[in-house]
Structures are given as C-alpha cells and as structure tokens.
Amino acid sequence: MALQNLGEGRSRPSFSRYFGMSRSAMASPATFMALMAPGVAIVAAFFLIPLVLVAMEVTNGPDGWATYLVILTNARYFESLVQTLLMSAGVTVVALILCGIVGMFLVRNRFSGRSVLIGLLTLPLSFPGTVVGFMVIMLAGRQGAVGSISNALIGEKTVFAYEIAGLFIGYLYFSIPRVILAVMASAEKLDPQLEEAARSLGAPRWRVVRDVILPGLMPGLVSSGAICFATAMGAFGTAFTLATDIDVLPMVIYTEFTRNANIAVAAALSIALGLITWLCLSAVRFLVGEKADLAARGGA
C-alpha cells in the first residue's frame, strides 16, 4: 500500500478520484521493476553473461578469431555437421510422412480406442534422450524385440541398435509424439467443406488430398518439421546412450569438452549448433505464431 501511494504521489488513498481513471490502477514503474527483478537477475547472471563468456572463450583457441569458423574449416567437424544435418533431415522427412498419414487418420475417424492410441503415441514426449536410447536397445539390441522376431522368422537375430539405423530409430522415437500432435492440431483446423466442394466437382480421393488437404496442412507440416529438425540437431542423450560410431555434433562437442579439454573448440561448435537450432525455431515462430515452438519442445 505504501509503495503504491509513494508511486502515485499521494499521501492517502482517495477513492473518488481513483474511480474511472485507468492510470491509477497501474502499478508504478518501481513496482514493475521489482516484479521483474528476480527473473531478470537469473537470466542475466546465468544466461546472458555465460553466453558472452562463451563467445569470448572461443578466441582463446589455437586459431584465435578463426576458431569461430572451425565447424567449417576442420574436416572432422564439418563431416560431423553434415552427418547431423542429414540425420536430422532424414528423420524429419520420415516423421512427417508417417505422422501426416496417421495424424489425419486419427483426426478424421472416430472409433473406440482412438483416444487410447493417441495417448500411447504421445507418451514419449517427456522421455530424456537416454531413456529413448534404452528403448532402442529394447527394440533392436541383442535381447531386442526385433531380434527375437527375426530369429523366429529367418533364424537370424537382427541387431542394429548400435548402428546408424539404431540411432535413426531413436530419433524417430522422440520425434513422432511431437510431430503427431502438431499435425493433428493442424488437421483439426481444416475446413471439411473444402473437401466436399472438391468432391462435388468430381475429384477422386487422391486429388482431394493433393489439391486441398496437403496445401491446407502445409503450414503445420512445415513448422512441425522445423521443430523436429531443431530437436534432432540438438539431441544428445540418445546418441550418448547408444554410443554408435556416428558422431553427431552434440557428441563431438561433448568429447571435445570433457575428454579433450578443447574448450575453445567446444564453445565454437556450441555456438554454431545453437545458431542453427535457434534459426529453425525462429522460422517457426515467424510462420505460425508464438505458441508453436514452446509447445512442441521440452525433453530430448
């Protein structure tokens, strides 16, 4: 009470003058600053300053300022970047296709058990990457389900958990829940009258999909694709747990920092990686609006 009165410049509240004046219901600038203080302090001390220090740390590297570009100049890092990009892009495409079909199907058809299926498909949303890696081992490891099935069918155990296929499966595992939710949200906004109109003009099913449904879903597909790509690029836990040969960028950063104590390089690579993921998610926000990027992130 006292703080407010100070801000308003009054010594005691005067109700009749408050009534109808919008300015009086606003807290003073001092109050606003006090409200923001804790949040700003946390972000400044533990995010902004560290960011700056990281940027500066890069210049301590062997090449000085050129270290910023080490991701491009060094063959090994560049190869890792390319591998990560390809992996992420591949997972994104497969996830979009699978979830596009399944998402539309779930939105357009009502049947008993539908909500169970949706619930199951979105379970892994908050699994950490390491658990996803373990799931891959469960599926395709030495005691895995796929191995047992193939053993029964062709007498040979198929084990691919620790190869690139295993990593791909793992990335797919945490991508599917995100993409499916986004596709379903997008599909629910489609206007069924557009499809009826196309049908009334004689269009068979495949034409309706091509000319009406896909164009309608496109913004949702693009934004969920970008989120999927960004998440895959930054994923660490899955690759770490599976310890495959393939060196995705987060793993390279990790080994450079912890094993090789190559802090400057790790910092440079982190900045490059952070830039890529941030650009992806900014593009999403630009396309679709505020809520999409946060809604699908989290975990992995």
Could you say which residues in the range 100-139 bind another protein, by CB under 8 A?
A: 101-102, 105-106, 109-110, 115, 117, 119-131, 133-139
Interface residue with another protein, options 91, 221, 226, 266 (CB under 8 A):
266
Give me the least distance between CB of 70 and another protein, in Å please.
15
267 binds another protein (CB under 8 A): yes
Q: How far is the CB of 106 from another protein (least distance, A)?
A: 7
Q: Which of 1, 75, 154, 261 binds another protein (CB under 8 A)?
A: 1
Q: Considering the rule CB under 8 A, would residue 162 count as an interface residue with another protein?
A: no
Whole-number minimum distance, CB 280 to another protein, in Å?
8
AA identity, residue 237: G
CB-based contact 225:144 (threshold 8 Å): no
Within 67-96, which residues bind another protein (CB under 8 A)?
none
Which has the closest alpha carbon to 182: 141, 229, 238, 140?
229
Tell me how far apart the alpha carbons of residues 23 and 30 are, in angstroms, rounded to a whole number: 15
Cβ atoms 170, 251 nearer than 8 A: no
Give the Cα separation of 211 and 102 in Å (integer).
Answer: 19
Q: Based on the shown chain and the rule CB under 8 A, indicate whether residue 254 belongs to the binding site for another protein.
A: yes
241 is an interface residue for another protein by CB under 8 A: yes
Among 94, 157, 236, 246, binds another protein (CB under 8 A): 236
From residue 223, alpha-carbon distances to 16, 127, 178, 190 in Å are 52, 22, 11, 16
What's the rounded Cα separation, in Å, for the pair 215 and 207?
A: 12
Question: What is the dihedral sign for C-alpha 8, 10, 13, 16?
Answer: negative
**Complex with another protein: residue 94 or 164, whichever CB lies closer:** 94
Asked if 6 interacts with another protein (CB under 8 A), we say no
Nearest distance in Å: CB 295, another protein? 9
Q: Is the Cβ of residue 48 or residue 82 nearer to another protein in the bound state?
A: 48
Angstrom distance (rounded) from CA 104 to CA 220: 12
User: Does residue number 289 form part of the binding site for another protein (CB under 8 A)?
Assistant: no
- CB-nearer residue toward another protein: 57 or 223: 57
- Of the chain, the end-to-end C-alpha distance in Å amounts to 46
Q: How far is the CB of 95 from another protein (least distance, A)?
A: 10
How many residues of this chain bind another protein (CB under 8 A)? 116
Q: How would DSSP label each residue in 193-236? A: HHHHHHHHTT--HHHHIIIIIHHHHHHHHHHHHHHHHHHHHH--
Stretch that binds another protein, among 73-81, 85-93, 150-158, 255-263 (CB under 8 A): 255-263
